[in-house]
Structures are given as structure tokens and as C-alpha cells.
Structure 1
């Protein structure tokens, strides 16, 4: 039975007639209860003005009850009514915790006067058990809950907590804390949090509370246990983190999207001078070969290497310091020192106050595009150089025909050969351009048929040559669709330049991590310029190869992660090194196998 808002109650512990008579002479309602536990039951339902304890030194001892009540309810006045005029009895009651005492003979008037003088600030459910006055808790903006550790019983809560969960304070008091916790939580889990708070003094964690309407909301809880008398209680400061959780969920969604992005993405801390990386997605790890543990705390200079352009790096740095976006292409290096062309874009990221807090980096491997661009440049230079020279030869011989009749036949032969060379060169240029535009698929398959068919083509086009094949019945490797074209070009180059009756041999061997296809001849040996083309695919404007064919070989082989080497000793041996199958997709295997020689280098 709850008192009305403008009423309050005196709880009397004992059954003295004078205590009962008090109700007829003063405003407050007087309820008589049998002991301290009964006070506990009543105080949750009524607005308590004071506690009256009848103490008879010759009867049942009440000093223990006075001590218990004054400890459990420190803000509620305790009046001891003693049935003895001896002031020592009253002093013992005060020592036990009573605020005042009055002897029974003088009980009526002094008690009435005392009650009327008491502050009209009733307690009850606003501050049960005398833990903390509810008016103090209500003055705090954060929701606060106080409960008893042993019983899990809620002792009080402020208005903010009641508003958060949709309860009246009277409804919450006496409920177990588990009743307002999310369904996924257990009492054992809650007790573990309290233990940790007791050890550390306080403990903050995320939790789920259940509103009166059944809705569960995410909250952040800070627990602070304390002791009062023989009881251990816990203060919980609760904060609604619904918006924070939603933002974090959105952030996780964006993070998953960034993690799944096909380009490398990094995030650097702009508040620290060296811009240490605080995040790198999986694509960045795949691109660079650096794992998360290798990246975090370091800056992007870890991608720099011996051929990384310093001026370009400084441009990026200047843009970052100026909080401006920038984009460039620079040669970077993977964890295994393999270079790659990095299309790098950086952009400042500001915090809520508009201050740049991070720098986002976007990394894209554009090595293939750079190689295509270089291919176009090489084709243009070779065609301009060779066509100009060859056409000068044609023009010179043509001009001489009128003057030297006796050598017309010889000159005509030269003209015919030169014209044929020009036609062949343009055909190879067309083939190389087609390979550039459509490199074909990379797959794991048997290379022996590719070698056998390439050899057969060379025999057909060069009947004067002896072309042999030394290979096992089957040998798988990571290859491109156009491998046969590269092998045919090597065979034809050997047949054309090794002498009048050349011996050409294709051999296929396997090592621990690669398949090697060797094309050997007994000719005079390939010169250094041609070897440079085969090995790196690079060619200076002043040292052009004799044709486009060798560049085509480099292009096809390096496209699958392989590389080409040459040796000259009683002839020339060109070796095509291809990745052996090692698990995963063919593209992944080619990627793992790639070495520095197969990637683009800065133009000389």
C-alpha cells in the first residue's frame, strides 16, 4: 500500500501502546512492525519520515536493531523510546545509532513535537535502505542503479535510469538486476563483472539492458562496488550507446567493404609525424606481401626501393603535409623486393572538428598497363628506326639500279630481302600488338604439346634446319595461351641466325619450383643487345634489337610470372622459366612466382 504523494509514515518497531496512540495525535501515519526485516519490506512501499524503536533494557534487546537500522538507513532519523528514566539507557541507544531518545513517561508530547519538527522530506522508495538519497542521484544526468550484490536485488535507481528503461522507481525497487538485463546475459557473467570491478575499483564494459516493453538496448556500464555495514552493494552508471553501436555497425560494414575492395587501401595516423599506418586491407597485403603485423606502426616508405623516384615521393609528402589530395605513379617494392608500378592516391580524412586526423592511401598495381605503354613505345621506336634504315637501303639500291646495270640482279635481290624483312617486321608488330590487347588466359596445363607444336612449325618454315625435342611425356606448368607463339619465335630466330644448316633443340626440364624450356642452337651466339631484350624487356633508344620477336617472347613469358635467361657457349641457349604448379589459382601461382626481372623498370 503506497502513501499518497503528500503523506508520509512513521515506522515503529515494537508494540508499545504509546506508539500506537501516536497516530491519533500527529499527521503521519504510524505503522507498527515487528523487526528490522519487516522495516525492509515496508520501506519499499511507503514514504518513511522516521523510525521509532521501543527499547526496554529489561526486555528483549533492541540495541542491535537500532544499530542495524541506523546503518542500513543512514538518512532516516531513528528515535529510541526507552522504558527507563535512567539516562544511561538512553545514551546506550544513542551510542547504538539512534538520533534521539525519549523515556516512556515523557513519550507522548516529546515524540509528537519531534515528529512535527522533522523535515518533511519523506524517503521510502526514493532512497530504500538508506544507500544514497534519491534526490542526489536524480541530480546526476547519467542513469544510475544501485543493487545488493548477494541478492541481486535493486535498491534504488535515479530518474534517468527509470526513463531509460520505462519503469517507475517503485517498480524497479526489489526487482533482480537480471530482470532488466538482456536475455543473453547470465547471473554468472554479471558476477564476473562485479568481481573484476571489486579488484580494480571500477570496471567499464558493454552490456544489454531490457526495457519494460521488452526492447533490448545496448548500454555501457561502469560498476563500482562498496560496502555498508555487513552488506556489499554495487553502483552501476549506465549509458545508452544505441547510436554509438549503430555507428560502429556502420563502420564495420564499411570496413568489410574496404576489406573486400580489389585495390589496396591504407589508413595512416596524421597526428604523428611519420604517419604510421593504423589500417591496411587484405588487398594491400596481397599486393605488397606485407602482413598486418608487418605494416601497422610503419609508414608507407616501407614500399620504397632503390629505383623509387625520390622527387615523386616528395610530391606526395608535400600534398599530405598541405592536407591536399594527390595521385601519382611510382615504382614500389613488395616484401620480397619485387618491384611493381603503384598507382597511388592519397586523401586527407578529417575528424568531427574538421582537423585532419588520418590520411587514406589507395594503391593499385598498374604494372601491366605500364608494360603495355612501354610496349607501344618500343614498337614505335623500333618501327621508326628499322623502317627508316631499311627503307634507306631500299632507296639506295633503287637509286643505283639505273647506274650499275651489271649488278641489277644482285641489287634486286637485296631489295627483295629487305622488303621481306620489312613485311616480317610489320607482321610481328601486329602479332605483338594483338598479344598486348588480348594476352589470353593463364592456366596450369601440360607444356610438352606446346613445345612439340612449336618445333613442328619451325621445321615446316625452315626445312634446312634440324629441329629436335627432348621432353618427358607430360610436364605441367603455369602458362599463357600464347606460350607456343613465344617458343616458335625463339626457334625461328635460332634457325635464321645459327648458320646455313642449323641444329635447334627444344628441351623441357623440371626443378623444385619451376619448369624450364630451353631452346638451343649451334650458331655464333646472340649479342648483348638481344640478350637484354630477352632478360628485361628493356631497350634504349640507341640500341634497338634486330626485331620485335624477342620483345614478344619477353612479353608473353613475363605475363605469367616467368622470366627469360640466355647463355652463349658454342651457340646460344635461351631458357624460358615458368612457374611450376604450387596450389591456388593459376593467377595466384604466377603472382607468387614473379621476380624482379619480370616487372616493369623505369625507362632509361
Structure 2
């Protein structure tokens, strides 16, 4: 077998398309890989000009790359990526290495090409995804940011930083610690501690004041996560949301709450005191003074519930692990103690650990108290707790008249805010918010046999 035939057989085993081109770009040899990659038999290409198969948008660049290799006197190798036409008219991306090695045995310029269509497509998709993400980040109202693991380099931050923090992005790029200057001096130590926690691999959630231009009166809520690789923190990413308006509303709620409770308690104590005096002076008015005392005490209880609701809505303790079966058992005993004539049947309390707001205990007591207080005769309530799928389901059942639709809508979240003043009080609102802020929900079923209120709260997924 001749040496050239042996070389041809060897080249036909190669995975890459290997071709020899004359100085004007004509194929003088093509190996068998051309059929696998392009669908052309080698003989179909030999004698044809290679540039006739290159995509019109790429041909000038490819020809220029080839010409550079041809013009050099010493050995040179050039690389180009381009679209090549297939036998079916479709296009594939090739990456070709072109060399000017033209010794006698080869008699041509060597071009080795491999199919990189999948790689190019993946790169294009990544570029398009990155471009979309940058567009989203550019218009996002939250500050999106990323630092390296030791906070020595700012890797990314969107334009919202300058609006919310009042600092320059370029300043932070030049000195990553510069973003601390935008944080209220009293809050900086806590932020520095949080940075250390993140570098150590822990998540962080916090609130602090920013923007010296606004006299640090802007508040942000920050959530951040360490990004790890092989167990090591490599980057830290997070976002900051402007919560200035929320904090302002919370302060207003607290102020109004303090004024309302203080004035209401003082005035009601005066009213209740006067009722006692009237009853002592006019015993025949005892029926009326009893009504005054009952309504006054109800208003005081409403004020206390209002306090619990304000705390629930303004404080941000987050969700915690709660042994819900223990909470339910304690709530049952508390209501039994305050209402000894009430019958509360416990129809099984399955062990259930949930992740929710601590006010869930108040919600359970409120549901039990409501059932007791609205009984037509001797109060009777049945309580059960079951694990159902990924949730714990608490059911409070009674044999009373159906709960009014407007009250049931408060519990389920289907309430019409224009009708809020028609509901009987704050108790069901406390239940709704405690459950809703625990990522749970409430269902109400009422009929001739009474009411069934089911509270569903996610089970804690930690072992």
C-alpha cells in the first residue's frame, strides 16, 4: 500500500474534518469525516472552492483568516469559527484551524475543522439569558448585588443602588468597602458582622438605614446568601429592598395603637367606675349597669386583641419551629381554665412540628374562645390535629349556628375591605394574619350540624 493511501486511511479515522486547500481555497483533499459532519461525500467537495460553502455573513472573515495564513513565510496557524453549508442546505458551526504547512507530501494548506454547533448555540443562549437578566436588573426597583467571598471585589450591582443607597457604583467598584459609607453609622457594626457570617457560609436577613444624602432616613430590607462550590464560599449574592414606606406605616400604627389603647383604657375605666357608683346609688339600675360593664369589658378585650394584631403586623420575628401539638394542648387547657362549664373534646393530637409565627398559639385560643362565646346553649367544641401530606391540619368543630359569611370570609382571606366594619371584631383577623404569615390557610365549612374551621400550616422540613 502506498504511503499516501496509508495516510488517507489514517485521516479517515479522525473525528474532525481534515482538508487540504490550494492557495485560492480549492479543496484538493477531504477526509471521510466530511460526510458525518456535513453530509457530503469527500469526492463531492474535492475540486470545489471551500469559500462557496461558507455562510455569506461569515465568508469575508474566513477568507481574511485564510489569507493571513497563506501570506506568512514561516509556519503559522489561524483559527476561525463560522457557519458551513451542509448537503441538505442547513448550516452547522465549524471551528477551523488553518495552517500554512505546505511541504511536498501534503501539497496544500491544512484545515482541520470540528462541529461546534452545540457549543455555539449554548454560548448564544447564555449570552441571551445574561442580556435579559441585565435588562431586568436595570429596571428592577430592588438593589441586586454580588461580591466575591471576602468582599474584596464587587462583581455586580444594578443601577437601583445609586437611587436607594445614594452612593456611586464606580466608587464601590474602586473600593468595595465604600458601600459601608452609605449605611447609617449606628448600623454599620451589625452589617460588618453580617458580612462575616456570609463569608462563613451562613444566610443573612436584616434591616438597616442607608443614604447619607437623605440623612439616613431610608430603610432597606436585605436578604443575602453565600454561593458555594465544593463546600467553599466563592461568591455572595443578595438584594436590598426599600422598605421606608413600610417602616413609616408601622410607626404610624404603633403611635395610633398607643394613643388608642391609652385613651380607651382610661375612658373605659372611668365608665366602669361610674357604673359601680350608679349601681351602689341606684340598685334598681343594676340591669343597665351590668350591660355597661359587659360592653366595657368587651371593649377592653378588643383593645388587647388590637395590640396583638399590631404586634403581629409590625414586628418581624420571622417563622420559627413550633411543636404545634403542644401549642394546641396548651391552648385547650387555657380555655378550659377560663370556661370550666365548656366541654372541649380532643379527638387526637398527632405530633406535628410546623414552621410559623409564634402568634399561632393566640390564633388557636381565639378559635376556641369564639366557639365557646357563641354557643346557643352549653358550649361544646371538638379539636383534632392531623398530619396531612406536607401540612398540619387543625380542626375546631362546634354544633352552633353557622358562622356569618362576612366572618368566614375574614378567616379565609376572601373578605371585602369595604365591609370590614360589619364584622364583629378583631379576633378572626388575628387568626387570619397569624396563619397567613405562617404560609398557611384557613377553610370554613358551616351547615346544620355546626361549623368546622380547619387551619392548615406547613410542616417543618428540618429533621
Relative CO higher for 1 or 2, CA cutoff 8 Å, sep ≥ 6?
2
Between structure 1 and structure 2, the one with the greater Rg is 1
